Amino acid sequence: MERFCDLHTHSMASDGTDSPRELAFAAKNAGLFAVALCDHNTVAGLSQFTEACIEAGIEAVPGIEFSTDYEGKELHILALFVKSEHYGKINDLLDDVKKRKEAANIALARSLSAAGYEIDYDEIKEKSGGYVNRAHFATEMMEKGYAPSVREAFDTYLVESAGFYKSPGRLLAIDVIKFIRSIG
């Protein structure tokens, strides 16, 4: 018997389009045996996700995708099978990261607006369900006709070299690996 899983999905808690609950049932409807929710830098949807997977009759793999820095490059690191008893430690680790991310998002919106692009950060935040990253800005720029595609918005406006986006700073990859090991 073949059993399939997806060990890298995102919900609306980061840059996905479905709620954690909808994701669990979409995985069930796709015939998956198990699915991992690995939102960027948050465990906010994991409790709802785990409950929905139980209800759907599939195996939940609680996870998180950490955005880190490795020698000046952005490196994403997945942690899988994260235990709920460690959610508080993860939130503590990411608290400052989230504050810097919010400040960087506000600065990006202001910078784009100052250059003549009608970008309303509060509107983007409302559409996204609260979590905002550059993918949400890219979608907004495409929808408003400033770029023909999300990829083009990234390549033209949302890279640091374009002058609008400034990285909020990320945790060091080695520190995150040590942290993941410390929580098992």
* Digit-coded pLDDT (tens) for 152-166: 998 999 998 999 999
For residue 135, what pLDDT band results from cuts at 50, 70 and 90? confident
Give dist(CA 15, CA 137) in Å, integer: 11
What is the H or E stretch that residue 36 is in? strand 34-37
Rg of the chain over all Cα atoms, to the nearest angstrom:
17
Q: What is the mean pLDDT of residues 71-82?
A: 96
Q: Take residue 107 and report the two structure tokens written for it.
A: 């600065």
pTM (2 d.p.): 0.85
Tell which residue, 132, 130, 131, 110, has the closest CA to residue 120.
Answer: 110
User: Do residues 109 and 119 touch, judged by C-beta distance below 8 A?
Assistant: yes
Q: Which residues pair with 69 in a beta bridge?
A: 74, 172
DSSP letter for 39, please: -
Average pLDDT of the residues in 128-151: 90
Q: In the predicted model, what is the mean pLDDT of residues 41-50?
A: 95
pLDDT band at 126 (very low <50, low <70, confident <90, very high): confident
What does the pLDDT average to over 135-163? 93
